[in-house]
Amino acid sequence: EALDGTDLASRMAVRGAEVVKRLMEMGTIVTITQSIDADTAQLAVEEFGHKVRRVSEADVEIGLKGEDDTIDALLIRSPVVTVMGHVDHGKTSLLDAIRSSDVASGEAGGITQHIGAYQVETPKGARITFIDTPGHAAFTEMRARGASVTDIVVLVVAADDGVMPQTAEAINHARAAGVPILVAINKIDRPDADPNRVRQDLLQHEIVTEAMGGDVLAVEISATQKLNLDKLEEAILLQAELLELTANPDRAAEGVVIEAKRGTLRIGDIVVAGAQWGRVRAMYDDHGAATKAAGPAVPVEVLGLSGAPQAGDEVVVVENERRAREVSEFRHARTREKEVARGAPLNLEQLFSEIQEKESKSELPLVIKTDVQGSAEALVGALARLGTDEVAARVLHSGVGGITEADVTLAAASDATVFGFNVRANAQARELAARTGIELRYFAVIYDVVDEVRASLEGMLRPEA
């Protein structure tokens, strides 16, 4: 007997509407009771992250996601934390201070690698994973790609400044994601620090800290003086306990680019990350050391993929290369369909004609190159929000790697500026830029880029003198 949406939904323990929606995204329009062929069913089920076995021409057997996750196999995993808050309130300083507090780093020289996240060991042996890109831009971009990256948000509020606009924004982002907030009241070493005012301010945003009779944990810290960092870590672990975070290290790994969350990833595993796939050839931890296996919530850098996936892409281990290729091809096709639907330019020629069309409007054309994919996405997202009806930044191209001749050529075609974020131009690119009068700008802080672009856009609004 033929399969229908109801069968799949009940086997996967999801709502029927979810299955219909997923099928629709794959281009199969059916009602919940209409029969679907096994090939389509298999792809749909895999999109939900389940393993599939074909038991007959017409039927598939679904290995449920949590099938082997018996109570015995589940272990408490360490929490994954994102630090958010207003600019200059001390997010970077806090991440640096915590990084250097890592007990396990003692002799090994500390956490030095930028792999998007790092894991620290607290004095009592518990571990916490921190996403080391501060700010809500990165958080939002990840979420936009459907990744639930974070278990806990640490909201940094400077005690000498109180709740500011980006503090409120961060609160909203965390809420929208359903992620619990823990408050770090920072800079308490400053003479003008007023932690009570912070707690008071937070009330207006319905964050009721313990001192105010609520249940939100708040810890007074100084990132630069390294005061109470242990208390902050204890609070994070306490919050994590309430969340009952568990994972089964014995199962095949599942994770998110920038963060691996469940299961154990091993060298030799075949993984699909977004639309890319490959066999894990080597893994490096946050100390830059080669590792052979990465357990739940352990951030690693993976070598061996066919191309660069995007931040927020889901990572799954599959049984063989053929499956990996199929899933990857399916996802590629879906991405292409989405681009066509969005009217995204398909080739360089179309891109150029689109640029020429747009040039009559007040747009600030940019080419952006970054060290890691996450930064590129965070930047493009942040710049998109700066635009108004009259002026906007237009990112012609963004990508990972040093600035090359091709980037400068593209910029020259529409008089764009080239931004390098933690990357620089090679000699040929510099030479071409000098010859064509294209400006190359280097940045290391997202907010500097945003400030710069905002200032340029404001300049474009003013009438020419």
Residue ranges in contact with ligand GDP by CB under 6 A: 85, 87-93, 134, 186-187, 189-190, 222-225
d(CA 426, CA 447): 25
Smaller CB distance to ligand GDP: residue 156 or 395?
156
> Which structure tokens are listed for 171?
């609160």
Using an 8 Å Cβ cutoff, are 307 and 261 in contact?
no
Distance from C-alpha of 52 to C-alpha of 55, rounded to nearest angstrom: 9
Nearer to ligand GDP, 91 or 394 (CB): 91
Buried b (16+ CB within 10 A) or exposed e, 335-373: eeeeeeeeeeeeeeeebeebbeeeeeeebbbbbbbbbbb
Residue with Cβ nearer ligand GDP (190 or 205): 190
**From the CB of 153, what's the least distance to ligand GDP, in Å?**
14
Pick the closest to residue 424 from 346, 347, 369 (CA basis).
369
Closest distance to ligand GDP from the beta carbon of 203 (Å): 22
141 vs 314, beta carbon nearer ligand GDP? 141
Tell me whether residue 82 or residue 310 sits nearer to ligand GDP (CB atom): 82
Instruction: Name the residue among 435, 436, 368, 444 with its Cα closest to residue 402.
Output: 368
Q: Which is nearer to ligand GDP, 224 or 422 (CB)?
A: 224
Kindly tell me which of 77 and 91 has the beta carbon lying closer to ligand GDP. Answer: 91
Burial class (CB in 10 A: 0-12, 13-18, 19+), 62: buried
125, 55 contact by CB (below 8 A): no
In whole angstroms, give the CA distance from residue 18 to residue 15.
5
Q: How far is the CB of 445 from ligand GDP (least distance, A)?
A: 8
- Residue 224 CB, shortest distance to ligand GDP, in Å, is 4
CB of 392 vs ligand GDP, minimal distance in Å: 25
Give the count of beta carbons closer than 10 Å to the beta carbon of residue 78.
23
Maximum alpha-carbon separation in the chain:
77
Smallest gap, in angstroms, from Cβ of residue 69 to ligand GDP?
A: 38
Task: Tell the smallest beta-carbon distance from residue 157 to ligand GDP (Å).
Answer: 10
The residue among 131 and 429 lying less far from ligand GDP, judged by its C-beta, is 131
Cβ at position 193, least distance to ligand GDP in Å: 8
Whether the CB-CB separation of 98 and 117 falls below 8 Å is answered with no
Bridging pattern class, strands 314-318 and 270-273: antiparallel
- Alpha-carbon span 46 to 202, nearest angstrom: 43
CB atoms < 10 A from the CB of 327, how many? 18
CB 223 within 8 A of CB 99: no
Give me the least distance between CB of 122 and ligand GDP, in Å please: 20
Query: Running DSSP on this structure, what letter comes out for residue 89?
Result: S
Kindly tell me which of 91 and 173 has the beta carbon lying closer to ligand GDP: 91
